[in-house]
Amino acid sequence: MISSDDLARLLAARLKKYRHSLVLVTRFTDSAPSTIKGWMDGSHPAKGERLNSLWHFLAAAGFDSPELAEVDVFGRYVGQLLAYRVIDMSNALEVCGVKNPQAVFDVIRGNRTPANPSVTYEELVELYGEQLQAAIDKLRQELGITSNTGVSQDVPEPELEQHPAATPVVSPVVLPGVGTGDRELFLLGAARHLSDTLALVRYLAEHCPPEERSRLREFMGVDAMFELSNLINGLCGERANAHRR
């Protein structure tokens, strides 16, 4: 009923309006921040299992997903099981009674009804219902969604509460050794300041409520946050750095 290209465009538009932790998106879709940036700007649209994961993630986050309603209950459930990693692709191939992943993607997007599924929808629920519900509940908890409420892109963000006593003080960064030719001293200074930055980032990640983290991303801009993440990732190893370039 919907092509992967059309679905990728729809999800990119929703992802741009997503105001919560991008770390959750990367973890749920098993993707790097640079990959998600490519989804958002359209340079590398989401595909395959990651497209399905993003689809169900945004639906769980409260985004209206009318195209999901057009998928038959069997296909939609298989899509959920894959997205939440209750089953993997080899399981999905067996469940749908098909021979290649593209056929599974057709089923979970509503473009095809499996001719010879190995189980019925009711049997799938009996087999995997508890595992799937636990995974859904975990994601909803991480998203800050209560049992009867959802996260909507149209809900205005609340004003930030002030916590002056708990706000870390960040001193200006002055790196020793810059311009002196003493690269070892420069690197030592850089390591010290990065360690200080780690304490700040840890505080922001662990002690600020979701609305404050969302406002922080607004202040920085999504592109700047992605660039920071990519640059830090490049410092983690030369392989990551070469890939980033």
In sequence order, the 6+-apart residues with CB closer than 8 A to the CB of 199 are 168
CB 82: neighbour CB atoms within 10 A? 22
The answer to whether residue 154 scores a pLDDT higher than 70 is no
> Rounded to whole angstroms, how far apart are CA atoms 243 and 235?
12
Which of 15-24, 43-52, 93-102 is predicted least confidently? 15-24
> Rounded to whole angstroms, how far apart are CA atoms 79 and 92?
9
Q: Where are the alpha helices (DSSP H) in 112-182?
A: 121-143
Structure tokens at 191: 């390591």
pLDDT digits (tens, 9 = 90+) for 68-82: 999 999 999 999 999
pLDDT digits (tens, 9 = 90+) for 81-139: 999 999 999 999 999 999 999 999 999 999 988 889 999 999 999 999 999 999 999 99
> Rounded to whole angstroms, how far apart are CA atoms 69 and 116?
23
- Residue 152: pLDDT band (50, 70, 90) is very low
Structure tokens at 237: 């190893």
Longest dimension (CA), the chain: 72
Q: What local confidence, expressed as pLDDT, does residue 160 receive?
A: 31
